[in-house]
Structure 1
């Protein structure tokens, strides 16, 4: 199972692309999976909770300014860029809401591995993912209500309850399992990457299968929007961190954290509260941000920052996430 986890993690974008192509060709096969999407995400969030340790929460208080800069950038840059792209490209209302949802989602856990590979500040990356995820029940509904509400009616209260159920409760249960049943959790953790890939792939095929006609009609335009959204997040995240006088490793961490979203959560919320078409930006984002993140990490991995050595002890511990 560990070998399978490593394999699926390494080939995640290709696996999802193949699965999405199958869903596009045979949409009826996956059209009934919609109600299971929130449960799939809850399982992934449960796994995230089981990987969190006391050290992760200690890291939150070690560099409060860097963490604050990063989380503020996460919840301002991405939602606003998603909204602006939807307006500039005149996307249909459902896709426009989907772009806002992706932007208003917290950071994705895959970003931690990308930051590690990029020789960035992985401790800061993990802290940003943790804090942005814990803030999601409050900030994501407010941002979607504010920005997405200009395209379609939005129920902030329903979004809040869904995020509590999909994110906060499973993460809390995962943390408690780690505290009270550490041996069981340590045995499970090595297969969590496989579970995550399986869950995200299932979300993508459900979304693609349920909105194949929409994807065929606006596919290229939507891909352009998603790619621009992600690249703008990576670029603006780095620039903001630089303006806030963060070291190079911190700039890399904030850049990747801002650019890589929890697209699975966005897809689950879009499917539950809008339509499968609204989840298409998240489905495409889930593939593309892993490709772009890998390319950026590969580029930076050959350029070690001067401050990287001090972080190596923390980096090693977090590589499995």
Structure 2
């Protein structure tokens, strides 16, 4: 097993599951029922993830006249929204964690059906038809979502219900731990992709950076345009710009059998950790009083 496989298949899932457990200790059932009763935030977030993200990715591939393999690689990335990393960043940024988790869960299930459609079109349009059948394992995807996010969050919520004082005491330490693990994962991603980072940045560095910035910016603008509060706007911003790189790499290397198609994902991973880190620093350092003062839009 290579270093990259150890990181993506063992270290990352375990680390994120631990973070999700701590995240669950900050949540109660009413956090989810509140957003389900008023689903505007969910609809805005899903529209950004499942509609605007692929459109922006497709537009950038054409605008930069990318090589067909790189263009399809960018589209693979643009069809894989969310991921547990976005929940981690939303937590440190003091966003709406319940909204972030809900968007990750729903988009991860929906994209199982949208990915084959979008990528089949991209392969045909950019002229890189491989003859491969793009079929994602629905059951395995659901199990992965359950194992990394929903199950540990549910355990954390159960702990919060039984030991509310303990859960409140652990909130700050878990946020600190989230930041540390985020940095460790970033370093691990750099190490795992060291051999292809130069090529990745040279060929698709600018398009992937723009994809990250544009999707995050659009996520924030649409959230504020529809008068969502700051916490929800933060979560939608993060969910729009933090993609499921692990799934993208699996599609490129295992389903389409083309390692080069994973190069845009390697470049994007660097950018999303940098911009995610900036958001964590900017929003995470603010006090609860500052957040309360900014929650003027309901």
TM-score, with length taken from structure 1 = 0.66
* Structure 1 residue runs without a partner (length 5+): 1-29, 184-189, 312-321
The 5-angstrom pairing of residues 155-304 of structure 1 reads 158-161=134-137, 164-165=139-140, 167-172=141-146, 209=195, 212=196, 216=198, 219-272=201-254, 273-300=256-283, 301-302=285-286, 304=291
Select which of 38, 63, 77 maps to 1:102. 77
| Distance change (3 Å), C-alpha of 1:170 and 1:306 | same
1:67 to partner: Cα distance: 0.6
The aligned residue for residue 66 of structure 1 is 41
Range that drifts further, 43-52 or 297-306: 43-52
1:40 to partner: Cα distance: 5.5
The 5-angstrom pairing of residues 108-119 of structure 1 reads 108-119=83-94
| Distance change (3 Å), C-alpha of 1:193 and 1:137 | farther
Distance, in Å, in 2 between the alignment partners of 1:46 and 1:120 is: 17
Q: Deviations over 1:178-205 (max 9, x none)?
A: 889x99xxxxxx9999999888877776
| 2:76–2:119 Cα contact (<8 Å) kept | yes
| 2:95–2:232 Cα contact (<8 Å) kept | yes
1:114 to partner: Cα distance: 2.5
* Structure 2 residue runs without a partner (length 5+): 160-173
1:46 to partner: Cα distance: 9.2
Select which of 110, 114, 129 maps to 1:153. 129
TM-score, with length taken from structure 2 = 0.71
Q: Deviations over 1:263-286 (max 9, x none)?
A: 121122111124121101111212
Select which of 121, 126, 134 maps to 2:101. 126
| 2:42–2:99 Cα contact (<8 Å) kept | yes
| 1:207–1:277 Cα contact (<8 Å) kept | no
1:132 to partner: Cα distance: 1.3
1:96 to partner: Cα distance: 0.8
Number of residue-to-residue matches in the alignment: 269
Q: Deviations over 1:117-146 (max 9, x none)?
A: 333322212221222122221122222223
| 2:81–2:108 Cα contact (<8 Å) kept | yes
| Distance change (3 Å), C-alpha of 1:296 and 1:267 | same
SS of match in other structure, 2:53: helix
1:233 to partner: Cα distance: 0.6
| Distance change (3 Å), C-alpha of 1:278 and 1:133 | same
1:248 to partner: Cα distance: 2.6
Range that drifts further, 279-288 or 33-42: 33-42
1:230 to partner: Cα distance: 0.2
| 2:229–2:296 Cα contact (<8 Å) kept | no
Distance, in Å, in 1 between the alignment partners of 2:296 and 2:228 is: 16
Distance, in Å, in 2 between the alignment partners of 1:41 and 1:104 is: 24
Distance, in Å, in 1 between the alignment partners of 2:152 and 2:230 is: 36
Distance, in Å, in 2 between the alignment partners of 1:239 and 1:41 is: 34
The aligned residue for residue 293 of structure 2 is 306
1:60 to partner: Cα distance: 5.7
| 2:16–2:85 Cα contact (<8 Å) kept | no
| Distance change (3 Å), C-alpha of 1:305 and 1:91 | farther
